[in-house]
A = this chain, B = another copy of it.
């Protein structure tokens, strides 16, 4: 298995990521919060809400993707310089099982950091009434570090 240990170039990565997350209105709208911020890894907690469902009453795949995309993006951001903004170039998500659960844990993990391009992997876990975890989705996200663009900062 790959072991992941990364040195963040910006010692203030934690505060920077938390401040940026707080500016993502979409996260507040869906009820998501930051559970962990580590070098190359970010975890987002998302409670189930009937407001976010698709027609069968499960969490909408797009809402799973929304939280996972932020988890992957911020995982990448922890390893970027202080003055870089992060953009999602693309992501791909596989829905492995219906997103049913009391709450969800969305994990983003950097696979390969880079000066321009960073690749991260996301895993969505559903937590049921018994506290057990079930893997419901997996993502691969390609991120780009952007500097010198005032409209894309953090």
Contacts and interface: CB of A to CB of B under 8 A. Distances in A.
Interface of A: 1-2, 20-21, 23-26, 28-29, 50-56, 60-63, 65-70, 85, 87-98, 111-112, 116-117, 119, 121, 123, 135, 138, 140, 142, 144, 151-154
Leading 6 A-B pairs by shortest Cβ distance? A62-B66, A92-B92, A26-B60, A96-B112, A23-B55, A90-B94
A24 B68 CA distance: 20
A112 B90 CA distance: 13
A61 B85 contact: no
A138 B117 contact: no
> Secondary structure at chain A's binding surface: helix, strand, loop or mixed?
mixed
A66 B62 CA distance: 4
Contacts of A62: 26, 62-63, 65-70
Contact of A65 (B51, B65, B94, B123): B65
A124 to B, nearest CB: 12
A80 B116 CA distance: 18
Nearest to A139: B140
A94 B89 contact: yes
